[in-house]
Amino acid sequence: MSSMSSVFATVAYTPPDAIFELTKAYQADPDPRKVNLGQGTYRDGHGNPWVLPAVEAAKDIIKNCDHEYLPILGHPQFRKLVTELVFRKDSSAIRDGRVASCQALSGTGALHVAGMMLRRALGHDRTVYITNPSWSNHRQVFESVAFSVREFDYASRDGIDMESLLRALNEADPMSIFVLHASAHNPTGWDPSPEQWRQIGAIMKERQLFPLFDAAYLGLTSGDYDQDAYAIRYFAEELDLEMGVCISFAKSMGLYGERTGLCAFVSRHHKVASNVESNLAQLIRGEISNPPAFGARIVTAILADDGLSSQWRSDLTTMSSRIAGMRNQLFDELTTLGTPGDWTRITQQKGMFCVLGLTPEQVHLLKETHHMYMAESSRVSIAGLNEGNVRYVAECIHQVVCRTGE
């Protein structure tokens, strides 16, 4: 190697993450009319970040805590309370000691740990199936731990493409891993009905497929945590399946920057769960050595206190109701304007996101002409809408759609 060459000479430039770049461009835009519909973070009715009242109260409770290390697997009470929240305290999986868990760096960290654990359990020659479209990080996370990732078409114009989904389930090799969005599918907002979940679960059980739930929006989708956790509990209790669940409190408690999550596996026996948990501890030790404490303490303070838990469920209703209200208002505005196209999807889809069905050209025009920022797929974060901008957004969409003749 010459003295002028670099160790990193073969490393190619990697383009930046599209959504974070969109936020950067939005922040640099001086126009007062600008609207950010890109990043999936909850905003209040004035477009500002919102610290949940339950979180404010919990911070007050833990303000005098120390800053010592947690155990490698994470805050013990956090793990216990979150597991009970997700699966239900009286679930047979918890009663029988069949749940292995570890604290993780929010949803992404939970998925990565789950990927490492499944790679260790199943080897590298298994395939991870993800929806098309899916959250942009899914492919990257599982390819980073050397899994082969395949996509199956998930959405049609009117909802879930069940034909494609069932075909993927029926054609996959046994012990293939399917990443399932527990609720508020990102980015489409189309969720299976309970009947469709039962159909999916029956095939997964029959064909020995492994479900891995990405559960980033539990409680925020409908405002009811139990309703949003339906598929997870059905697969664990009724179908008695081994499975993984990746939990995040970024959205449901607004703890975006605290990176607070849980990775949990339901296994066949208590002894298997114990072995899995010992491996999770080893993986965490090698990855981050020790998980961050602050967010876990906040979650624990809320879930351990009946009053704060009640407040949190009220906060979830506040957020989900505002998002649902904005969906209805955007639909009403577009309908009143007579905007060409079928906009019923806006009110039919669930959760924080909605894919509007605009072309990349229309998305580009909205950004350049009207200072409106959204993903190229026309996925919008409904939480970015409020009383002050929803009419402007509808009018701009109307103008662009009419102008491009779509």
For 336, residues 6+ apart whose C-beta sits below 8 A from its C-beta are: none
CA distance 178 to 123: 16
> pTM for this one?
0.95
Q: β-pairing, 260-266 with 99-105? A: antiparallel
* Residues 151, 134 contacting (CB under 8 angstroms): yes
> How many helical (H) and strand (E) elements, i.e. helices and strands, does the chain have?
16, 13
CA distance 387 to 151: 38
Q: Which residue carries 């049609």 as its tokens?
A: 156
CA distance 235 to 249: 22
Q: Where are the alpha helices (DSSP H) in 123-193?
A: 137-143, 162-171
**pLDDT on residue 11:** 96
* Residues 169, 190 contacting (CB under 8 angstroms): no
**pLDDT on residue 39:** 84
What are the residues facing 181 on neighbouring strands? 214
DSSP 13-33: P-PPPHHHHHHHHHHH---TT
Residues 20, 47, 325, 335: is their CA dihedral positive or negative? negative
CA distance 50 to 254: 7
CA distance 143 to 127: 10
DSSP 317-358: HHHHHHHHHHHHHHHHHHHHHT-SS--THHHHS-SSEEE---
Residues annotated as catalytic are 135, 214, 251
CA distance 365 to 177: 39
Best CA proximity match to 230, nearest among 260, 256, 200: 200
Helical (H) or strand (E) element with 148: strand 148-153
Best CA proximity match to 263, nearest among 68, 74, 90: 74
Delineate the domains of the chain, giving CATH numbers in brackets: 18-51+319-401 (3.90.1150.10), 71-304 (3.40.640.10)
Q: Which two tokens stand for residue 208?
A: 């020995």
Q: Give 10-residue mean pLDDT values along the chain (406 residues).
A: 82 92 94 92 94 98 95 98 97 98 98 98 94 95 97 92 98 98 96 98 98 98 97 98 98 98 97 98 97 98 98 98 97 97 94 94 96 94 96 97 82
